[in-house]
Structure 1
């Protein structure tokens, strides 16, 4: 399995690897190390390996040149900016120590007026130099990162290479995709898998090229492509006009090499079939929670959500669990709190993200720090019992093409926690909530309508919870059901192995190997 993140936090790929290993496949999950050092551990019976991935091709050619006309004072892109800033910081630190030594000498009766004057002069010089370095570094950063690739030159460049190379244009427009190949490709060749499961668009190329090399070597390698989202519906990264055409071309080039395609929703399956002229509609493997995956040890108790928030059982508690970013709508939850007296919000997110830091600063400005609780992720098997302590699960996401077509992981996690839900009116989730009666729908980014929906659910929580008593509803929303679909895809492609083992113990193995992958960390 291939994943362009560090595995932790990507619940979909963790569940895939673990359930495939439990079904008897020999699974190696290759991820991307967040450091320069390789890492490895076991996920159930699956082996996780994180690979270092340098990114020299990710930088664009202009980032290696000086922008003399626009930023004449900018440092050259050689690393000297960081070096000079550190030099000034070291000088200032040395001057502080010298000042402390002079103070100690003065207390003992030994004053050195000339040394003190010289130190003060140096302090002024250090401040001036620090300001000069700051100005030049600011220009350096602007020269390196301010370009948005939306000017006429970039449009002409993109058009030219699309005209010349067609779907191969990504090699010029987004050469950083080769960084994935150079990090993962040799390891894949060494593993010599029978089956490669490549999740999403970046890993599709890595998996397809490995399958081509394997087939050329006489091994009938099978490729499964797991599309987590519809690439044309993604907002271009950093407003880069090259990004979307490059990645779409990359996806179109390698999609024909997939022996099977799976995805996360029926709507996305139909879009993929039309986009890539697939012979059959992709199988749907929902992002359902793995309620059957436990710690395997009583030493890993589930954290208490209310205890971490410091609230009692009678305090209304709303929870959001998953990726944190502006399009996720978390600000709506915060801005609504003045209209919801006594209500608390728990945000189970990555607290280190810049967006979360900005959101917390906004919470402080509103004076709501005692009612908004930012909590870190828990293990994927802990999510459902952890969330069950809340009163409402909230999904306030904005209208984006990919938000309209999916039932995201947190939707199923809230359901298995038997939480009434409040969701924005993105199409698929809103239609599902209206049909099941498990919650209320509000207009995305509309704080007043969100307040209405929350009040309606808090007024009659048990009525909304009763929706989960519908026969078969939750049973179809489990990872166990999805794992059977996934295993069926594998066995259709590799029909020769022995029958699956009766036990899912780590020693039970089918004598073939599967190498599986994903690219999105945002699957909560």
Structure 2
């Protein structure tokens, strides 16, 4: 601020525009990337999506967040629209079914009204006999039967179209992938264009020096924006941040996975640099796409500093207090979403053999709406008679997760074997580690190898109840033995976001070698978590604000 009270413009090293296919609130990696880059002197604008028609913006530290409306009008792949030889009598558009059914109801209501009117008129005239309206009623019966038949055909067609193993679906997907190659996503999933239509002009108007595209749906958006800028004579650098291994994702509908794989394949080699979350995934990406160099690894580890808390005065609660438990009750912790492939149902089942143990899960979304998977887990707990020992709790801000979890006795990560589970250390792995919790993890490769090498926990065979119980009993019998692993000098510092942010900043500086050097840190007090994982006793009691954490 100068002598006249005017705030001086903050010098920047260049403008970084980040794009992501979500609402930002629930994506800790994206939040940390934007915030730390802005703290390092970059002018960061993070673009995400929202459902309504109004643009929303706020500050994330020194970074700006803008949520832009994204129209959802291209969801149906081209090969699933229109009629079909499979069901030639099905309605071409499923919306016709409801309209036709409503028309039949209206026709029926009209006949009923006409009969009632004729009865009333005949009653006044002293006439006898009942009005019949034979022809209209016969027409209604035939038309209703025809509509019911076509509605049934439409339903069967809709069901067939979403079956991955249905032969015509397989042949259609195979045809487009064979004839169009990496461009086949245009036929298989045109909804990918919706991100371009929503974000393209916004990026162009911001005139970035670096475009940082987070996750696979943004790779085309970033590549095309960089190409447009270069065509106008601007030297723009494009960074693609691969959060996961796309071929290892679970297929949703016929052609969806093939479309995402093709989309990434078409654009990834246009990136000036590729960033990803683990060495194993970096090796896969380099091999699959024949990249000139190995992608830069930026792990999704937690922040050690509590600078984020400057924007949020929410007190940090103790996990045991949230569950209403005393210090001597055995407590297992889990953080993150609940799905079948994350294996949390195994832990709930294990409680029937661990009579004194409780399970706390930071898994309820910010909206407070319990997901279908979480509701099913709750039903399982009730059926097994352990509902009083299963605690479903709301998410907390990502910078609080480790501190909230720290009072548990151990943490669980019961992932099933899937490609993306095998190749990276999950976000929760780092959160558990910074909480200094002994770990009970399934034998997915990368995480199991790390736990065995550090001695910070026990490994069990995925989906194997007996082996989980063996590992859990070992850990709960002597948790201090496993906590001692965190005393290794530099271990937790290496697994901090501060270390990862430095790597990302070095990458930006390499891409823009003429950019100014990083400025001195902001002159503000930043409390640093020493790694003890204990909540700040000065924070006092409060409530957990449900901010999403993946």
Residues 332 and 408 in structure 2, CA contact (< 8 A), matched pair in contact too = yes
Residues 184 and 206 in structure 1, CA contact (< 8 A), matched pair in contact too = yes
Residues 12 and 523 in structure 1, CA contact (< 8 A), matched pair in contact too = no
Further displaced range: 169-178 or 432-441: 169-178
1:320: which partner in 2? Answer: 334
In the aligned structure 2, how far is the partner of 1:361 from the partner of 1:136? 38
1:269: which partner in 2? Answer: 282
Structure 1 residue 151: Cα displacement: 2.2
The change in CA–CA distance for 1:45 and 1:234 in structure 2 (over 3 A counts) is: same
1:291: which partner in 2? Answer: 304
In the aligned structure 1, how far is the partner of 2:522 from the partner of 2:154? 56
The change in CA–CA distance for 1:479 and 1:224 in structure 2 (over 3 A counts) is: same
Structure 1 residue 163: Cα displacement: 2.8
Root-mean-square deviation (CA, aligned residues, Å) is: 2.8
In the aligned structure 2, how far is the partner of 1:36 from the partner of 1:145? 32
Structure 1 residue 291: Cα displacement: 2.2
1:496 aligns with 2:514: yes
Matches within 5 A, 1:233-244: 233-238=248-253, 240=254, 242-244=255-257
1:27 aligns with 2:44: yes
In the aligned structure 2, how far is the partner of 1:178 from the partner of 1:134? 36
The change in CA–CA distance for 1:74 and 1:277 in structure 2 (over 3 A counts) is: closer
Structure 2, gaps ≥5 residues long: 1-17, 106-146, 525-546
1:463: which partner in 2? Answer: 481
1:180: which partner in 2? Answer: 195
1:208: which partner in 2? Answer: 223
In the aligned structure 1, how far is the partner of 2:176 from the partner of 2:68? 32
Structure 1 residue 31: Cα displacement: 0.8
The change in CA–CA distance for 1:467 and 1:46 in structure 2 (over 3 A counts) is: same
Matches within 5 A, 1:125-164: 143-144=157-158, 147=161, 148-164=163-179
The change in CA–CA distance for 1:297 and 1:230 in structure 2 (over 3 A counts) is: closer
Structure 1, gaps ≥5 residues long: 89-132, 507-520
3-state DSSP of counterpart to 2:350: helix
2:292: which partner in 1? Answer: 279
1:430 aligns with 2:430: no
3-state DSSP of counterpart to 1:380: coil
Matches within 5 A, 1:50-449: 50-61=67-78, 65=82, 77-78=94-95, 81=98, 143-144=157-158, 147=161, 148-238=163-253, 240=254, 242-293=255-306, 294-296=308-310, 299-349=313-363, 350=365, 352-449=370-467
In the aligned structure 1, how far is the partner of 2:180 from the partner of 2:425? 37
Residues 77 and 187 in structure 2, CA contact (< 8 A), matched pair in contact too = no
The change in CA–CA distance for 1:315 and 1:146 in structure 2 (over 3 A counts) is: farther
In the aligned structure 2, how far is the partner of 1:488 from the partner of 1:52? 33
Deviations 1:441-466 (A, max 9, x none): 00000111111111100100111000
Residues 243 and 277 in structure 2, CA contact (< 8 A), matched pair in contact too = yes
The change in CA–CA distance for 1:429 and 1:285 in structure 2 (over 3 A counts) is: same
In the aligned structure 2, how far is the partner of 1:505 from the partner of 1:194? 27
Further displaced range: 378-387 or 292-301: 292-301
In the aligned structure 1, how far is the partner of 2:54 from the partner of 2:86? 40
The change in CA–CA distance for 1:415 and 1:135 in structure 2 (over 3 A counts) is: farther
Structure 1 residue 377: Cα displacement: 0.8
Structure 1 residue 352: Cα displacement: 2.9
The change in CA–CA distance for 1:449 and 1:135 in structure 2 (over 3 A counts) is: farther
In the aligned structure 1, how far is the partner of 2:100 from the partner of 2:313? 47
3-state DSSP of counterpart to 1:56: coil
Structure 1 residue 373: Cα displacement: 0.8
In the aligned structure 1, how far is the partner of 2:101 from the partner of 2:55? 31
3-state DSSP of counterpart to 1:256: helix
Residues 225 and 262 in structure 1, CA contact (< 8 A), matched pair in contact too = yes
Deviations 1:194-241 (A, max 9, x none): 101112211111100100001101111101111111112222224x2x
Report the TM-score, using the length of structure 2 for normalisation. 0.79
3-state DSSP of counterpart to 2:58: strand
In the aligned structure 2, how far is the partner of 1:145 from the partner of 1:59? 14
3-state DSSP of counterpart to 1:358: helix
The change in CA–CA distance for 1:297 and 1:244 in structure 2 (over 3 A counts) is: closer
The change in CA–CA distance for 1:257 and 1:372 in structure 2 (over 3 A counts) is: same
What is the aligned counterpart of 1:39 among 53, 56, 64? 56
In the aligned structure 1, how far is the partner of 2:490 from the partner of 2:154? 59
Residues 63 and 77 in structure 1, CA contact (< 8 A), matched pair in contact too = no
1:475 aligns with 2:493: yes
Report the TM-score, using the length of structure 1 for normalisation. 0.82
**Over alpha carbons, which structure has the higher Rg?**
2
Residues 397 and 548 in structure 2, CA contact (< 8 A), matched pair in contact too = no
The change in CA–CA distance for 1:268 and 1:69 in structure 2 (over 3 A counts) is: closer
Structure 1 residue 271: Cα displacement: 0.9
The change in CA–CA distance for 1:135 and 1:366 in structure 2 (over 3 A counts) is: farther
3-state DSSP of counterpart to 2:387: coil
